[in-house]
């Protein structure tokens, strides 16, 4: 529906979203939504490169066209729910980190078919929804110590950055030292290095959409140097969902196993706390928190995130979650759900640009810098960890280091939750450990026992 800013429709839109009340305008909200899209649209190239069958997963991956379309549709659906129902200026899309967990830990590491992995994603979304609309949400948020939440975020950043360095050819395997520096005589490695340099320069200059601009610059240089092929066309009708849509439901019976329980728990854990931090952080930046520091319409906001995850899984992609890049739109003046609706509109348009994004996704050297930079941004949480307290520092460090070194987000979370309660008891602070943490410790002990006996 077209918004006529000269008629009564403007007043109805204003009243529904509370635009004037929050000191914004329709024009500013639409512009903020555009800025948010520019800041996060890199997901349309990066997500297919991580989950698709043209990347590291090969034949085990989801068909590339289907991943691209599913990524765009999931972003549209999740963002519209957040904008129209929760009325927050926050956009959703398949999350970085959880897509890596889906691809490298679940599909490659555990040997689980992507169809079943989608079922696990769907289940995590359903459980998240139940938690979101009940008071259990607050109890769980309070149960997990902030230090471990920070460590999980930073560890995922390290893991994502490692994947980017590997895809770029900047870090390669070595039979003696496990890894070493890549070959700078290789064209694609040099292209990735160029992409990383320009992206961090754009980022340092404070440009909204720095990651996207870095991908564009790298693609142009790659085309000129012959390392990236020209797209055969620019526009194409969306298709491919017939290969993924509904697979999460069809394969649901295969998701009720001990192995998948760990997968679902990890997806839920990461998505739940990532969404918590993102929603509260962005709302605080926009000045939308109550005087008591509470998030208004919190149940709707969290439920919107969970609906995005469940819907995205049914459509055919990994966990869909709130994007921290939404801060770009907030910085541009976005204050209401109309910002999110505008972002969803751009994702709808981008759905028809698969030929362009496919060329980018097919060359890992082009998307690798985006993964590295996203990893850097996620690793900022390291600075908030209380390193002077060993009961926090040791579990946090083990969580962070185990993710990239064992090639598994689940392993890092599990190790951190094993060490934390033990060290708290040793430091005579055992009473501060929430019963939920002890339950998780037992679950992850069983997880490691399972790994040892596979």
Q: Cα–Cα distance between 258 and 270 in angstroms, integer?
A: 19
Structure tokens at 392: 């926090």
Q: Give per-residue pLDDT as tens, 261-284.
A: 989 999 998 898 888 888 888 888
Most confident of the following: 208-217, 272-281, 338-347, 368-377: 338-347
Give the pLDDT of residue 453.
Answer: 56
Q: How far apart are CA 397 and CA 382, in angstroms?
A: 9
Burial 277-312 (b: 16+ CB within 10 A, else e): bbbbebbeebebeeeeeebeebebbbbbbbbbbbbb
> Stretch 49-65: mean pLDDT, rounded?
91
| Closest C-alpha to 111, from 57, 161, 31 | 57
What is the rounded distance in angstroms from the CA atom of residue 454 to the CA atom of residue 449? 9
Residues 109-144 have pLDDT tens digits of 999 999 999 999 999 999 999 999 987 877 777 788
Contact 71, 319 (CB under 8 A): no
Q: Are 337 and 288 in contact (CB under 8 A)?
A: no
Entry pTM = 0.85
Q: Which of 132-136, 342-346, 416-420 has the highest mean pLDDT?
A: 342-346
Identify the CA nearest to 138 among candidates 305, 319, 272. Answer: 272
pLDDT at 5: 45
- Cβ neighbors of 257 (< 8 A, separation 6 or more) are none
What is the C-alpha separation between 167 and 363, in angstroms, rounded? 9
């Amino acid at each position: 529906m077209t918004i006529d800013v000269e008629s009564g429709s403007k007043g109805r839109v204003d009243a529904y979203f509370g635009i004037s009340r929050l000191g914004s305008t329709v024009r500013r909200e639409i512009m903020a939504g555009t800025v948010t899209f520019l800041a996060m649209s890199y997901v349309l190239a990066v997500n297919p490169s991580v989950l698709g069958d043209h990347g590291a997963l090969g034949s085990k991956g989801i068909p590339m066209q289907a991943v691209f379309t599913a990524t765009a549709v999931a972003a549209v659906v999740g963002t519209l729910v957040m904008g129209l129902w929760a009325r927050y200026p926050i956009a959703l899309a398949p999350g970085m980190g959880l897509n890596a967990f889906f691809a490298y830990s679940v599909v490659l590491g555990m040997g689980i078919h992507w169809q079943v992995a989608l079922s696990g994603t769907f289940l995590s979304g359903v459980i998240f929804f139940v938690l979101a609309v009940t008071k259990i949400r607050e109890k769980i948020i309070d149960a997990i110590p902030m230090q471990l939440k920070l460590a999980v975020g930073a560890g995922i950043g390290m893991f994502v950055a490692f994947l980017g360095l590997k895809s770029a050819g900047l870090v390669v395997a070595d039979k003696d030292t496990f890894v070493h520096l890549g070959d700078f005589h290789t064209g694609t490695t040099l292209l990735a290095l160029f992409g990383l340099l320009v992206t961090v320069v754009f980022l340092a200059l404070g440009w909204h959409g720095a990651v996207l601009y870095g991908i564009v610059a790298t693609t142009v240089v790659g085309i000129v140097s012959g390392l990236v092929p020209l797209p055969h066309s620019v526009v194409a009708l969306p298709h491919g969902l017939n290969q993924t849509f509904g697979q999460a439901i069809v394969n649901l019976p295969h998701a009720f196993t001990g192995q998948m329980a760990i997968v679902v728990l990890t997806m839920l854990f990461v998505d739940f706390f990532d969404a918590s931090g993102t929603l509260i952080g962005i709302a605080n930046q926009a000045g939308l928190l109550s005087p008591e520091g509470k998030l208004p319409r919190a149940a709707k906001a969290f439920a919107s995130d969970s609906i995005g995850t469940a819907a995205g899984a049914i459509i055919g992609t990994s966990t869909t979650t709130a994007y921290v890049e939404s801060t770009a739109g907030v910085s541009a003046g976005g204050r209401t759900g109309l910002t999110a609706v505008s972002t969803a509109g751009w994702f709808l348009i981008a759905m028809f640009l698969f030929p362009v994004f496919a060329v980018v996704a097919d060359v890992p050297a082009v998307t690798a810098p985006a993964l590295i930079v996203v990893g850097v941004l996620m690793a900022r949480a390291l600075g908030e960890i209380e390193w002077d307290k060993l009961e926090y520092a040791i579990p946090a460090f083990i969580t962070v280091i185990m993710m990239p070194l064992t090639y598994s987000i689940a392993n890092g979370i599990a190790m951190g939750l094993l060490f934390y309660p033990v060290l708290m008891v040793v430091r005579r602070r055992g009473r501060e450990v929430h019963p939920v943490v002890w339950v998780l410790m037992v679950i992850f002990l069983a997880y490691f026992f399972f790994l040892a006996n596979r």
